[in-house]
């Protein structure tokens, strides 16, 4: 059970309409002896025992909470990156659109027909 203190992004991160990310970084140093003890006693534990270990760890954390550092990241240009991605997808779809289906659209929009250039 290797502790991680890198934090995580909340469920709001990574969407087109959000530009605020949060991360929580708990101080796990007081629990390091408990984590090391579990690692030594159960070196080959499979994933089925993981809920048991996490439950014990959570119970100890509830009884003896430690400080948590919260980080708020404001990234106002994130939405522009998402919009740019959708614009690229739209451009790709237009580029691969079959030429035979463009003619009815061109007629409806009254666009001039393209004339192929002649070789000189």
Among all chains, which residue has been given the structure tokens 């007629």?
Answer: 107
pLDDT at 76: 80
pLDDT tens per residue, range 49-89: 888 888 988 898 899 888 999 998 888 888 888 899 999 99
- The C-alpha atoms of residue 115 and residue 39 are separated, in whole angstroms, by 73
Mean of the per-residue pLDDT values of the chain = 78
Contact 68, 25 (CB under 8 A): yes
> Which residue, 6, 19, 16, 18, is CA-closest to 71?
6
Predicted TM-score (pTM) of the model is 0.39
Looking at per-residue pLDDT, the higher value among 58 and 1 belongs to 58
């Amino acid at each position: 059970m290797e502790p991680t203190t890198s934090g995580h992004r909340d469920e709001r991160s990574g969407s087109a309409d959000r530009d605020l990310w949060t991360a929580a970084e708990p101080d796990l140093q007081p629990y390091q002896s408990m984590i090391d003890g579990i690692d030594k006693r159960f070196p080959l534990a499979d994933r089925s025992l993981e809920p048991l270990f996490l439950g014990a760890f959570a119970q100890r954390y509830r009884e003896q909470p430690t400080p948590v550092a919260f980080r708020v990241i404001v990234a106002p240009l994130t939405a522009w990156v998402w919009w740019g991605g959708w614009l690229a997808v739209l451009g790709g779809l237009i580029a691969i659109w079959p030429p035979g289906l463009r003619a009815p659209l061109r007629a409806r929009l009254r666009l001039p027909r393209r004339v192929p250039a002649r070789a000189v």
